[in-house]
Amino acid sequence: MQEPVDHTTHNPDLVTVMPNGETVPGGGIVTHHVADKFFATRGNNLDMAVEDVKNQQLNQEIDGLVLGRWLLTEISSWNRDKERLVILCENNIIICKYDYVAMKLASIQRIALKQLKEVHNGNFDYPPNSVSVPRLYKGVRITWGTMDNQPWYQKWNPLNTDIPFSTFTSHPVLALPDLETKEAYDVQSFLSGLKQALEKVPNIKYIDNQPIIIESYAGFASYVHNQSRLGFSRERGGVSF
């Protein structure tokens, strides 16, 4: 299989550009040496995490059957990348922050499919006066409410958890050319599974191939955070977090 092309010298976001023109987020070329530092992708850690969440948190009467699971990158409202385990069920989407070092669940968010109002996929963009570093790859945003009634100090509060949308893109290891089960790390695979699960849910608005706006204006802190992959469970020079 053809190796991915490293365009990091020309690309300010240091993405990995695949032979088919698709791009994968974060920190430049992803080699096996880099990929091995992600704890979630070591051995069967991802499957173990899924089983842990299923056994401790999922209820078939509430959630329904599990339809799929993905390891994705969630982009916060402050433009920071965070590793998330996403489990799609018949009734709900389960978004998990999982500690792959201690192998335990850190937090969980349950979103009812019937609450979803909009599914938006496309490339990312920023407001015209933003100095954030461009993102040159695709993502998916799911929305179940509105920010219209929230005061500005809540909207821009990084500790505010009452954000009625989640934004996802692919996990960086998707760039590995010989990765098995690529679908588990691919946001487009998640989108396909989500659309199938929503076939019986009325009044869903789909926005396809239109820019997803990230309302971030100051880009240095998020740039350092994302390029260092601080939102991922990894080995870092002998220290694991």
Q: 184 near 42, Cβ under 8 Å?
A: no
Dihedral over Cα of 201, 204, 208, 214: its sign? negative
Q: Which residue has the higher pLDDT, 204 or 236?
A: 204
pLDDT tens digit sequence for 187-200: 999 999 999 999 98
The CATH number of the structural domain formed by 16-231 is 2.30.29.30
| pLDDT of residue 227 exceeding 50 | yes
Q: 116 near 143, Cβ under 8 Å?
A: yes
pLDDT value at residue 21:
54
Quote the tokens at residue 229: 């992959």
Q: 92 near 201, Cβ under 8 Å?
A: no
Q: What percent of the chain has pLDDT over 70?
A: 76
- Which stretch of 70-79, 118-127, 181-190, 222-231 has the lowest confidence by average pLDDT? 222-231
pLDDT value at residue 187:
96
User: How far is it, in rounded angstroms, from Cα 134 to Cα 106?
Assistant: 30
148-151 long-range contacts, CB within 8 A, separation 24+:
none
pLDDT value at residue 191:
98
| pLDDT of residue 201 exceeding 90 | yes
Q: Which residue has the higher pLDDT, 160 or 224?
A: 224
Q: Name the CA radius of gyration of the chain, rounded.
A: 17
Angle at 178 between CA 170 and CA 241, to 5 degrees: 50
pLDDT value at residue 178:
75
pLDDT tens digit sequence for 8-49: 333 333 455 555 555 666 555 566 767 778 899 888 999 999
For 12, counting Cβ atoms within 10 Å of its Cβ (0-12 exposed, 13-18 middle, 19+ buried), the class is exposed
Q: How many CB atoms lie within 10 A of CB 37?
A: 16
- Domain ranges for the chain, please list them: 16-231
